[in-house]
Chain A
């Protein structure tokens, strides 16, 4: 049996990271913003059936970019984690932090142990009970790196440019329509085209709702918020 070629660990990790980054950079982006009543998630996604944003639990939402089948598996694993935990303890014991840690572990293990790393980044957001107390936004990268973001987050192909744009334009306690408009502008900042409500998937964690805070914004509501209603 021929000996496999020796590849240094540094080189192997570098190659894997480059591979994963390339895959993610091909995909469209997602932005997340805090606004007065909660957290807004905006994705560029022309499909109305294949979601990139999803409900995980009462106050927790999930978003994923990159390869659909990979982040879909992570999404379902997250729902299972949350539902089992909420069933065996209580609904209040399900936290974004524990879930983000689980994602970080999973992606870290896959990155180091599997030949092909996942080409995804995921985001876990948990809305706080009161306006003023801090909501939580965790951003987990393809290699398990976990970042605790404040006020806003971006991931996907043009994440760096979007983050720079949001740094300059983000304001505290925006209304929902201000936040939606800012989110959509941020997504188009690196592109020459405009996005209509049909190219977008938008959802909120709305703290004014009872128990399940997650709510999708349908196209009609979205066109009103964007001021494009006819």
Chain B
């Protein structure tokens, strides 16, 4: 076995994976929900209702890339757990992840995923392909399956700009880590059906950024209108949905006052349609 030492450096496939590093050297740092080797968790009855859930996130493809948006509410049972939660995370310069489901594990997953991508990029000196990133996220969701069965499901949307193909792409997942690419738009979370219905009617090919922003916010307003878990634009506290764009030039914020302006326009139009001006 004299040559086993040099051979080891070829067998170390997980060399650039942060998750593999944690698994090998720091298993205690892996969020509990993602530890596959542990005994099943027992969540006492009633506790599930007290766990905060993120509600609606969506991604829409437009001319320059993808726009991602999410409402700001976390809901635990029939209570508002948080009014200001952020659900769209930058995973790297050219991709983002929108989280829905149990907020705690979902945020852990977003943080782990972001570290995973950055770690790979630094070690390899190169970015993962968009396809590679999407698969990696799928593997993480699969790790969470056991917890998902007990009511702690995490179902994100992943979207990014594919440099090779020169276009924005988006992916949805189910709790088993199954990965499905959507071509035009998708929504996830408790208000997702209403948001999707809205997007189905409003989405058009080759929208500009401003058009896509309006369409995304219309869908969130619809979701908030129909789904009790989803928070609408909060005019009292001036809390508005999070909106991010991902294009060739990177991951960008849409400023709060622009989101506010569009939200107010949408609400004014609806008031006018309902009761006249």
Bound-state CA distance A212–B118 (Å) is 10
Q: Mark A45-75, 1 if CB is under 8 A from B, else 0.
A: 0000101001110000000000000000000
How many residues on A have C-beta within 8 angstroms of the other chain's C-beta atoms?
14
Q: Which residue of B lies closest to A80 (CB)?
A: B21
Given known A51-B125, A76-B123, contact A83–B111 (CB-CB < 8 A):
no
Q: Nearest-CB distance from A147 to chain B (Å)?
A: 25
**12 more A-B residue pairs beyond the given contacts A79-B119, A87-B22, with a C-beta to C-beta distance below 8 A:** A54-B122, A54-B125, A55-B122, A80-B119, A83-B18, A83-B21, A83-B119, A84-B22, A84-B26, A84-B29, A87-B29, A87-B111
Bound-state CA distance A80–B123 (Å) is 9
A residues whose Cβ falls under 8 Å from a Cβ of B: 49, 51, 54-56, 76, 79-80, 83-84, 86-88, 212
| Most B Cβ at <10 Å: residue of A54, A84, A86, A212 | A84
Please tell me if B260 contacts chain A, counting CB pairs below 8 Å.
no
Residues of B within 8 A of A87 (CB): 18, 22, 29, 111-112, 115
Bound-state CA distance A161–B115 (Å) is 41
B residues whose Cβ falls under 8 Å from a Cβ of A: 15, 18, 21-22, 25-26, 29, 111-112, 115, 118-119, 122-123, 125
Bound-state CA distance A76–B15 (Å) is 9
Is A79 a contact partner of B22 (Cβ separation < 8 A)?
A: no
Is B29 a contact partner of A88 (Cβ separation < 8 A)?
A: yes
Q: Which residue of B lies closest to A79 (CB)?
A: B122
Residues of A within 8 A of B111 (CB): 87
Residues of A within 8 A of B112 (CB): 87
Is A83 a contact partner of B118 (Cβ separation < 8 A)?
A: yes
Residues of B within 8 A of A88 (CB): 26, 29
Q: Nearest-CB distance from B26 to chain A (Å)?
A: 6
Bound-state CA distance A76–B29 (Å) is 19
Is A83 a contact partner of B115 (Cβ separation < 8 A)?
A: yes
Bound-state CA distance A54–B123 (Å) is 9
Bound-state CA distance A157–B162 (Å) is 43
Q: Which of B21, B122, B123 interacts with A84 by CB under 8 Å?
A: B21
